[in-house]
Amino acid sequence: QVQLVESGGGLVQPGGSLRLSCAASGFTFSGYAMYWYRQAPGKQREWVATITSSGESTGYTDSVKGRFTISRDNARNTLYLQMNNLRPEDTAVYYCNRGFGRYWGQGTQVTVSS
């Protein structure tokens, strides 16, 4: 029932930008805090950013602070991650999640390379 579909990834040069989207369905999107995670090959999945259900508060892991911005459009059931000044170490598959480690989408690949 719960569906999370990530999109917007791609190949970018260092210093470039991408905007990721997560289309949510099967639950009351506006009633949940949402999260972005990422996972690089051979590494654990790590938390990237959080936004509260109404969008009033956000949080970020230290490595992306000042570069990434999480936002949401509850009327469209969509979560976003604006990624600026990308670095090679940002290369990973990016996933959205509604919490508690369930209902992962397919992810979207972000590759930062010259």
Note the pLDDT tens digit of each residue in 83-95. Answer: 999 999 999 999 9
**Kind of pairing, strands 108-112 and 92-97?**
antiparallel
Q: In whole angstroms, how far apart are CA 113 and each of 6, 20, 24, 84?
A: 21, 18, 30, 14
Average pLDDT over all residues of the chain: 97
Of 101 and 28, the structure prediction assigns the larger pLDDT to: 28
pLDDT attached to residue 14: 98
Q: Is the pLDDT of residue 101 over 90?
A: no
Q: Is the pLDDT of residue 102 over 90?
A: no
The average pLDDT across 11-40 equals: 97
